[in-house]
Amino acid sequence: MRIELETATSRDALAWGFETFGDRIALSTAFGPSGVVLMHLASQVCPGAKVFFIDTGFHFPETLRMVDRIQDRLNVCVEVIEPSISLGEQASLYGSDLNIVDPDRCCALRKVEPTRRMLDGLDAWITALRRDQGPSRAHLRVLETKEVEGRFLAKLNPLVRWTKAEIWQHVVEHGLPYNPLHDAGYPSIGCQPCTNPATDPNDERSGRWAGKKKSECGLHTLI
Which residues contact ligand SF4 (rule: CB under 6 A)?
56, 58, 99, 103, 106-107, 110-111, 190-191, 193-194, 217
Q: Which is nearer to ligand SF4, 162 or 209 (CB)?
A: 209
Tell me how far, at minimum, the Cβ of 104 lies from ligand SF4, in Å. 8
Active-site residue set: 217
Q: Which is nearer to ligand SF4, 106 or 124 (CB)?
A: 106
Distance of CA 217 to the CA centre of its chain: 11
Q: Give residues with Cβ within 8 angstroms of 58, minimum separation 6.
A: 87, 99, 110, 191, 192, 193, 194
Tell me how far, at minimum, the Cβ of 201 lies from ligand SF4, in Å. 22
Tell me how far, at minimum, the Cβ of 4 lies from ligand SF4, in Å. 36
Q: Which is nearer to ligand SF4, 21 or 60 (CB)?
A: 60
- Pairing relationship of beta strands 49-54 and 124-126 according to DSSP bridges: unpaired
